[in-house]
Amino acid sequence: MKKSYIALIAAVGFIVAATLVFYILNTTWYNSEEEKVQVLHSEQVEEFSTVVALEGADVHIEQAPAYTVAVEKIDDGSEPEKVFWLRNDTLYVDKGARVYINCVALENIVSEKSYWMGVHRLSASRLNISMNGGKLYYSVGEMPSDSLADRTSVVDTLNVRLSGQAFFSLKRARIGMMNLRNAGNSNAELHAEIGKLDAMVVEQSKLWLPRQSTPNELKLQKDSSVRLEIFNN
Domain boundaries, the chain: 1-32, 37-143+151-230
pLDDT-derived band at 70 (thresholds 50, 70, 90) equals: very high
Query: pTM for this structure?
Result: 0.79
Residue pair 214/193 in contact by the 8 Å Cβ criterion: no
Which CATH number is associated with domain 37-143+151-230? 2.160.20.120
Q: Which of 7-11, 84-88, 94-98, 201-205 has the lowest mean pLDDT?
A: 7-11
Q: Where are the beta strands (DSSP E) in the chain?
A: 38-44, 50-53, 58-63, 68-74, 84-87, 90-93, 99-103, 108-121, 124-138, 153-163, 167-182, 187-201, 206-210, 217-222, 227-231
pLDDT per residue as tens digits for the range 23-37: 555 554 444 444 555
pLDDT per residue as tens digits for the range 167-203: 999 988 899 999 999 999 999 999 889 999 999 999 9
